[in-house]
Protein backbone atom coordinates (compact mmCIF):
# COMPACT_ATOMS: atom_id res chain seq x y z
CA UNK A 1 0.00 0.00 0.00
CA UNK A 2 2.75 2.46 0.98
CA UNK A 3 4.58 1.50 -2.21
CA UNK A 4 1.56 2.45 -4.29
CA UNK A 5 1.21 5.77 -2.48
CA UNK A 6 4.93 6.50 -2.84
CA UNK A 7 4.85 6.00 -6.63
CA UNK A 8 8.60 5.42 -6.74
CA UNK A 9 9.30 8.72 -4.98
CA UNK A 10 6.97 10.74 -7.24
CA UNK A 11 3.85 10.28 -5.07
CA UNK A 12 3.33 13.98 -4.38
CA UNK A 13 3.46 14.81 -8.08
CA UNK A 14 1.35 11.90 -9.33
CA UNK A 15 -1.36 12.12 -6.64
CA UNK A 16 -1.27 15.91 -6.82
CA UNK A 17 -1.97 15.81 -10.57
CA UNK A 18 -4.78 13.27 -10.17
CA UNK A 19 -6.26 15.16 -7.21
CA UNK A 20 -6.30 18.41 -9.17
CA UNK A 21 -7.91 16.62 -12.12
CA UNK A 22 -10.66 15.24 -9.89
CA UNK A 23 -11.32 18.72 -8.44
CA UNK A 24 -11.50 20.40 -11.88
CA UNK A 25 -13.72 17.66 -13.33
CA UNK A 26 -15.98 17.84 -10.24
CA UNK A 27 -16.34 21.60 -10.68
CA UNK A 28 -17.31 21.11 -14.35
CA UNK A 29 -19.67 18.20 -13.61
CA UNK A 30 -21.45 19.83 -10.65
CA UNK A 31 -21.49 23.28 -12.29
CA UNK A 32 -23.51 22.11 -15.30
CA UNK A 33 -26.71 20.95 -13.53
CA UNK A 34 -26.48 23.86 -11.06
CA UNK A 35 -26.41 26.37 -13.95
CA UNK A 36 -29.20 24.52 -15.73
CA UNK A 37 -31.47 24.55 -12.67
CA UNK A 38 -30.76 28.26 -12.21
CA UNK A 39 -31.52 28.87 -15.90
CA UNK A 40 -34.87 27.07 -15.59
CA UNK A 41 -35.85 29.22 -12.60
CA UNK A 42 -34.61 32.45 -14.26
CA UNK A 43 -36.45 31.73 -17.50
CA UNK A 44 -39.65 30.82 -15.61
CA UNK A 45 -39.50 34.19 -13.83
CA UNK A 46 -38.88 36.02 -17.11
CA UNK A 47 -41.82 34.30 -18.82
CA UNK A 48 -44.14 35.02 -15.89
CA UNK A 49 -42.98 38.67 -15.85
CA UNK A 50 -43.65 38.91 -19.60
CA UNK A 51 -47.11 37.42 -19.19
CA UNK A 52 -47.90 39.73 -16.27
CA UNK A 53 -47.01 42.75 -18.42
CA UNK A 54 -49.10 41.70 -21.42
Q: Candidates 1, 2, 50, 52: give the one binding another protein (CB under 8 A).
A: 50
- Could you say which of 8, 52, 53, 54 contacts another protein (CB under 8 A)? 8
Closest CB 4 distance from another protein, rounded Å: 7
Whether 15 and 5 have beta carbons less than 8 Å apart is answered as yes
The contact pattern for another protein, residues 10-39, with x = CB under 8 A and - = no contact, is xx-xx-xxx-xx--xx-xxx--xx-xx--x
Amino acid sequence: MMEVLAMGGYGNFVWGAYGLTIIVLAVCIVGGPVRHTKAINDVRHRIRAMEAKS
